[in-house]
Amino acid sequence: QFQLAVPVAVVFAPGSVPGDLPRPLPFRDVQETEIPVNLKTTVTTRYETIYRSTTAQEEAALGAATAREADAALHPLQDTSLGSLTMYVVPEMSSLLPQGVSVYVGKHRSALVRAGGGLAALRARLQQLTQVMAFTVSSITAALSDRVPDGQLGPDARRHLKSSLGYEITFSLLNPDPKSHAVDWDIEDAVNRYVQPVLDKLSLVANFSVDSQILYYAVLGVTPRFDKESSSFLLSAHSLPHVINPVEARLGSSAASLYPVLNFLLYVPERSHSPLYIQDKDGAPVSTNAFHSPRWGGIMVYNVEAPASPQTSLPLHVEVDMVRVMEVFLAQLRLLFGLSREELPPEFLLESPGNEGLADWELDRLLWAHTVENIATVSTTLTSLAQLLDKIGNIVIKDDVASEVYRAVASAQSAVAELAVGHLHSAFQASKEAVTSSERAFFDPSLLHLLYFPDDQKFAIYIPLFLPMAVPILLSLAKIVQETRQRKKEPTKLD
Amino acid sequence: GGMLAAAVLLLLAAGPGPGPGPVRAGRDALREELLLSPLPDGDVAATFQFRTRWDADLQRGAVSHYRLFPKALGRLVAALGVRELHLALTQGFWRTRLWGQPPLQAPPGAELWVWFQPTVTDVDKAWEELSNILSGIFCASLNFIDSTNTVTPTASFKPLGLANGTDHHLLRYAVLPREVVCTENLTPWKKLLPCGSKAGLAVLLKAERLFHSSYHSQAVHIRPICRDASCLAVSWELRQTLTVVFDTFSSGQGKKDWSLFKMFSRTLTDACPLASQSKVYVDISPKNKEKELLEVTPPPASVHEAVVQGDKRTYAVYDLLSPSLFNTSRSLNVQLKWKRPQDSLDLPTPVLHAQRYVSGYGLQTGEISTLIYNTHPYRAFPVILLETVPWYLRLYVHTLTIITKGKENKPSYIHYQPAQDRRRPHLLEMLIQLPANSVTKITIQFERALLKWTEYTPDPNHGFYVSSSVLSALVPSVIAMKDVDVEQSPLFTSLFPSSDGSSYFVRLYTEPLLVNLPTPDFSMPYNVICLTCTVVAVCYGSFYNLLTRTFHVEEPSRGGLAKRLANIIRKFRGVPPL
């Protein structure tokens, strides 16, 4: 069904062209692979690769001292459309890449690859690189997780948030013991400083709203175990699922919008349960003292140092170290969006995204996955709408609902078409429109009306008619049966 | 919430970031208080007030970091452009004549009135959305608020907080008199309190006691107020109030003595640690000039005197934040004893009270009568009457008569908006001058409309409610009032500020009415179907028989018994029968 086209440009710096090229530069090459998702759905990926040699400007940029500088210098020379990738092949002996590193992925949509070996070796490396920078089989199947049969998915596949037009991020500080701890956090500044840059980058993907609250007397649902050795309290991994439920009742749903909520909770344990540590499955304490719940958010336990003298007057004033907290929450946020950096071979070097918190190619990864997921969602929504209409024959479809359905289908088709030619940005926009239209059609109040009562009730009303009418018919039928039986019996008797 | 699976994660810390920003002081404050007042007829009213004041502007998108102010309400105010919100959920009826003027009255059922910001373009849409969201927050059927029970009063409801203009097109008012208030509404209300029901005065809010009472009213008021005297900046105030009236006489074996434990089956042990003020007030005002009729234990640390609603009141004050209070005993159980049994007190009648009833016979026409009493000995004052009548009672405005002391009383202002069937209710607002020591009778006739069969409520023979009418008045005070600083005075005086020292604002609600409408026999269609079906079936049966029956000529059988006997004998012998 799906065809994902990734435009890739492979640029050879002088002295890096492998000897066994099939044709002289420049030339085009198309590679197709198929990813089976289930019996009906297959995803075809198409790498449209252009092989060419560097221009004079690029050559000058590649002459920079370090990979980072080269990356910055190359950025204005590239195709900046979303989803496209540029890979520069540098000579094997180039000093641009550090020793032992053969692939360098920059902040934007480009990478530097050290030449070496023949064309086949280079191709394999480039293939691996496109998977890192665009999508992998697992990221696409995770996006289509609703259609993949259970058991075929890895544990991470259901961790990512569903694609949505917007997300609400709520930071909550839980203070179960305001009598002993007066906890303050400068969340406003921390959000502006650490979270907002990431969200600005992600604003292409969805709308985000951030808010925070402080909840008092909110306790965890589990009583932690006291550990005598370390004189601390421990929460073991298997009890963590029970932690969230009682807290969630206090969090308050977002009444004003329908977007999914991401909760990040900072829990300051009661004085009687301090310090509190989270244990992983092996019994070792978790270094960050935090855990996350897939598609829901994360919880971090923030221990307050016990006062030096027991005579210290209560409540103890606590100022939360927001750097420590935000590091954890941002890592959890990336994880929930499926942006965690996967395990890579050691010769890969990824540039840290710096202040923006997110590299351009990571954004592309997210867009690929979300576009595919949106299209899948639209098709699921429209299919269930069609099933509903099949089930209830006399339902009335208003013109505006019908036009929303048409619009959804048209947008979904254009999204698929744009994906097939590699226009990621327009494909994503179209898929977003398709989702909006299909949801609007599906949740239209005119389809929810309870007036469509089922046919069996109509039948029940006419039972007083059908039952007395059936009596003479059944009686005469019985009579006929009796008579035929008798007629059959009579000849045998005569014999 | 469903069961959530959690996964442990070992996080890799990211690179170092800049240091924490400067510390800002908390800009919000919580004050909690409880007012216990013995009512003239021996019942006890307990009024809780929790006031959260936030020195921030809750405008659209400006602030989103909440501390004491509940996030759910704050987001609502910001997202929908609410300037002022007043929601009350009430079970029971405040009997003004017996109980006197309440600090805050609310009509039975649910009442919601909202002023929107002038920036809101589609007020009706925002109103609908707001009522739906509030219905979700408070588990109440506020989603039944629609255009058929929403009105826009022109004079009765003025903004209680800061307001630049009072363009009443930004106001919406609705009452659902049928709403039943119970624990499912109390729980979300308690959840909005910063301390929940875990500490402070809120520990007394035990649902099984609160609803075992004659009157229960919980309310939420949100309004913008001046941050300071200069009023250059806006603060937002959330006031959560809860009023309960306990019938101590019947529950206390004929004694009118009461204590906190008897009423709430709890005692107070501490103040909410987040509150900057936590006080219990007990009304010990001497009645009938006889002093020392009541005895309060433990003895109060201080006594507060105030003029509340034209009456001089004395309150015993217990400050839960003062360390000396819990020194002697671990908990505070305020007790009140009457020194000698009161017998046949002549109940002081409030200056303004009203009653309303529906009269007439038959199911076609009827009459709504409202009696408004002004018992002030020498002062006349005007009152604004707001009447909202659903469309299925068709009011005849030409039959509107207002009679005071046998003479016709012409209202100085009248605003009438006729109903539209299935679209909007009748709205009648009048400004009526009430002469001193008088009874004013307002009558208006109506005709009952026929409803479509789907429009009837689930129990149509119970009747249809007509919401309480609202009386708003500036009642002249018998005692001169001092201009007090509203910020410092107890909270129960400060929601309606007095305009000057000589009068005070009163808002009263009359009884809701229960009107029977012509109700069809809902089983009739089915009965008709059954009957006609049976007739058709019987006809069909006889026709069928007539058409399918074959007729045989029956041979006359002679000697029946003898023949049968002979056949039996023949059968035994093995001979074919006759």
Per-residue pLDDT tens digits for B124-182: 999 999 999 999 899 999 999 999 999 999 988 888 888 777 788 999 999 999 999 99
Residue B562 lies in a domain: no
Beta-carbon separation of B541 and A469 below 8 A: yes
- A197: Cβ contacts below 8 Å, ≥ 6 apart: A355, A356, A357
Average pLDDT over residues A350-379: 82
**Contact at CB, B13 and A189, closer than 8 angstroms:** no
Asked if B372 and B318 sit in the same domain, the reply is no
Quote the percentage of chain B above a pLDDT of 90.
35
Q: Do residue B11 and residue A326 have CB atoms under 8 angstroms apart?
A: no
Most confident of A193-207, A247-261, B208-222: B208-222
Interface test with B, best of A173, A262, A327, A332 (most B CBs within 10 A): A327
Residues B216 and B308 in one domain: yes
Range of the domain at B154: 29-338
Domain's final residue, options B313, B338, B363: B338
B537 assigned to some structural domain: no
Lowest mean pLDDT among A16-30, A72-86, B16-30, B269-283: B16-30
Domains of chain B: total = 2
Same domain, B39 and B138: yes
How near does any CA of chain B get to the CA of A449, in Å?
13
Separation between Cα atoms, residue A476 and residue A482, nearest integer Å: 10
Do the chains contact at A255 and B71, CB–CB below 8 Å? no
**DSSP states along B401-435:** EEEETTEE---SEEEEE--BTTTB-EEEEEEEEE-
Q: Supply the mean pLDDT for chain A.
A: 82
Percent of chain A past pLDDT 90, that is, above it, reads 11
CB-CB under 8 Å, A250 with B8:
no
Look at residue A151 and tell me whether its pLDDT is greater than 90: no
Compute the Cα dihedral for A397, A401, A407, A408 and give only its sign: negative
C-beta atoms surrounding B233 within 10 Å: 11
B526 reaches A (C-beta below 8 A): yes
Distance, in Å, from the CA atom of A445 to the CA atom of A396, rounded to the nearest integer, reads: 11
Residues B309 and B359 in one domain: no
> Under an 8 A CB cutoff, do A331 and B15 touch?
no
Strands of B426-434's sheet, edge to edge?
B413-417, B426-434, B381-389, B470-476, B503-509
Query: How far does chain A reach from its first CA to its final CA, in angstroms?
Result: 74
Determine, yes or no, domain membership for B226: yes
Set of chain B residues whose Cβ sits within 8 Å of the Cβ of A188: 65
**Predicted pLDDT of residue B15:** 32
Chain B, 42 to 81: residues with Cβ < 8 Å from chain A are 64-68, 70-72, 75-76, 79-80
Joined tokens for residue B367: 């009459």
CB < 8 Å to B6, chain A: 240-241, 243-244, 291-293, 299
- Identify the band that residue B413 occupies on the pLDDT scale cut at 50, 70 and 90: very high
Cβ pair B66:A212 closer than 8 A: yes
Question: What percent of chain B stands above pLDDT 70?
Answer: 85
Asked, for residue B17, whether it belongs to a domain, the answer is no
* B333 and B356 assigned to the same domain: no
Q: Does B19 touch chain A (CB under 8 A)?
A: yes
Name every residue whose Cβ is closer than 8 Å to that of residue B202 and which is 6 or more positions away in sequence: B32, B48, B50, B190, B193, B195, B196, B272
Residue B24 lies in a domain: no
> How is B140-209 classified by DSSP, letter by letter?
S-GGG--TTTEE--SSS---SS--S---GGGEEEEEETTPPP-HHHHHHHHHTSTTTTTSGGGGG--HHH
pLDDT at B17: 32
Same domain, B247 and B109: yes
Which parts of B27-126 are beta strand (E)? 28-38, 44-54, 82-91, 109-116
* Sheet with B234-246, side-by-side order of all strands: B150-151, B171-176, B109-116, B82-91, B215-226, B234-246, B44-54, B28-38, B275-283, B311-319, B302-308
B274 and B324 assigned to the same domain: yes
Q: How high is the pLDDT of residue A67?
A: 80
Interface test with B, best of A211, A450, A483 (most B CBs within 10 A): A211
**pLDDT value at residue A153:** 58
User: How far, CA to CA in Å, does B207 sit from each of B178, B201, B202, B263, B558?
Assistant: 21, 14, 11, 12, 89
Tell whether B395 and B437 lie within a shared domain: yes
Cβ-in-10-Å burial (0-12, 13-18, 19+) of B319 comes to: middle
Q: What is the CATH number of the domain that holds B397?
A: 2.60.40.740
Note whether B322 and B403 are same-domain residues: no
A156, A158, A181, A189: best to mutate for the B interface, most B CBs within 10 A: A189
Q: Which of B50, B60, B65 to mutate to test the interface with A (most CBs of A within 10 A)?
A: B65
B300 and B360 belong to one structural domain? no
Nearest CA of chain B to the CA of A4: how many Å? Answer: 32
In a domain, B557, yes or no: no
For B493, the token pair is 């005086």
Candidate from B79, B198, B548 with C-beta closest to A256: B79
Q: What is the pLDDT of residues A264-296, one digit of tens each?
A: 999 999 888 888 888 888 878 888 888 888 888
Q: What rounded mean pLDDT belongs to chain B?
A: 83
Name the most confidently modeled range: A127-136, A202-211, A251-260, A439-448. A202-211
Alpha carbons B158 and B167: distance in angstroms, whole number: 10
Kindly state the average pLDDT of the residues B303-319.
80
Residues B242 and B137 in one domain: yes
pLDDT tens per residue, range B453-512: 888 888 888 999 999 999 998 888 766 655 555 555 565 556 666 556 677 888 899 999
Task: Please give the pLDDT value at position B440.
Answer: 95
Interval A166-188: pLDDT, tens: 898 999 999 988 888 888 888 88
Claim to verify: residue B325 and residue B400 sit in the same structural domain: no
B403 within some domain: yes
Determine the distance in angstroms separating the CA of A213 from the nearest CA of chain B, rounded to an integer.
Answer: 4
- List chain B residues with CB under 8 Å of A330: 14
Alpha helix locations (H) across B282-432?
325-328
| Predicted confidence (pLDDT) per residue in B329-386, tens digit | 778 888 888 776 555 556 678 889 999 999 998 889 999 999 999 998 888 999 999 9
> What is the arithmetic mean of pLDDT over B16-22?
33
Helix count and strand count (H, E) for chain A: 13, 17
- B-chain residues near A288 (CB < 8 A): 10-11, 13
Of the given ranges (B186-190, B225-229, B283-287), which has the lowest mean pLDDT? B283-287
Closest CA to A271 of A247, A307, A319: A307
User: From the list A464, A471, A476, which residue is nearest B529 (CB)?
Assistant: A464
Q: Is the peptide bond before A14 cis (omega within 30 degrees of 0)?
A: no
- At A324, which amino acid appears? R
Residue B403 pLDDT greater than 90, yes or no: yes
Amino acid, res. A458: K
Contact assignment for A326 to B18 by CB distance below 8 Å: no
Instruction: Tell me which residue in B20, B64, B274 faces A210 most closely, judged by beta carbons.
Output: B64
Section B30-50 average pLDDT: 87
**DSSP helix, strand, coil percent of chain A (3-state; round to 5):** 40, 20, 35
B3, part of any domain: no
Local confidence band at B12 (pLDDT 50, 70, 90 cut-offs) = very low
